[in-house]
Structure 1
Amino acid sequence: MFFFDSNDFITQYQMSKKLSELEDEKEHYMQRITQVQKDREELLSNSALLEKYAREKYQMKKPAEDLFIIMKKEDKAK
């Protein structure tokens, strides 16, 4: 039973280790969710910040503006 059962010592150790990893991962995601909610509230409450985000992330512009996208040239000689 110590070595051959589905609840043997090795399996229990592996499951305990996996549980610890998953709890750490859960904590990371909970912190990330809190940060995203904070950022969302800030965006929705500040129209200037929302406009800046839309311009940078989605390349939105006003009707009378021209949009220029500058991209870095990749070095192919590597």
Structure 2
Amino acid sequence: MRFSKIKIPSYLKNKYILTLVVFGVWIGFFDQNNLWDRSKLSSRINQLEKQKQHYEVEIENNLRNRNEIEESAESLEKFAREQYLMKKKNEDIFVIVEEEE
């Protein structure tokens, strides 16, 4: 039984090229900081940056609301009525909920 010779390109016989290819495969797939993990971490960073921006806007809105409430007793009363459904003894509260279609 005769085996036919497989022709290997000359650039794959070069030990430097072969070492570079093995190193690239190792770094790309098997290393602690491989490409798959780096892409997952990059998407997680983007997600956290979006959350950070959202919370910064929320903080800004809450600070604005707090300053408005601290300015006068009327605005504090309005806030308490709207947010916590507080009322005076002789009042009735009607909550209107809009239905979404």
Judge same fold: TM > 0.5, yes or no: yes
CA-CA distance at 1:4 after TM superposition: 1.0
**C-alpha distance in structure 2 between counterparts of 1:51 and 1:5, whole Å:** 61
Aligned with 1:35 (options 27, 36, 61) = 61
Contact 2:80 2:86 in 1 (8 A): yes
**1:51 match:** 77
Structure 2, unpaired ranges of 5+: 1-25, 97-101
Structure 1, unpaired ranges of 5+: 73-78
Structure 2 vs 1, CA of residues 71 and 56 (structure 1 numbering), >3 Å: closer, same or farther?
Answer: closer
Structure 2 vs 1, CA of residues 56 and 71 (structure 1 numbering), >3 Å: closer, same or farther?
Answer: closer
How many residue pairs get matched?
Answer: 70
**C-alpha distance in structure 1 between counterparts of 2:41 and 2:74, whole Å:** 49
Rg larger in structure: 2
TM-score by length of 2: 0.59
**C-alpha distance in structure 2 between counterparts of 1:70 and 1:15, whole Å:** 49
Written as runs of structure 1 = structure 2, the 5 A alignment for 1:17-36 is 17-36=43-62
**C-alpha distance in structure 2 between counterparts of 1:67 and 1:36, whole Å:** 28
- Identical positions, percent: 34
- Structure with the greater relative contact order (CA < 8 A, sep ≥ 6): 1 or 2? 1
Structure 2 vs 1, CA of residues 30 and 18 (structure 1 numbering), >3 Å: closer, same or farther?
Answer: same
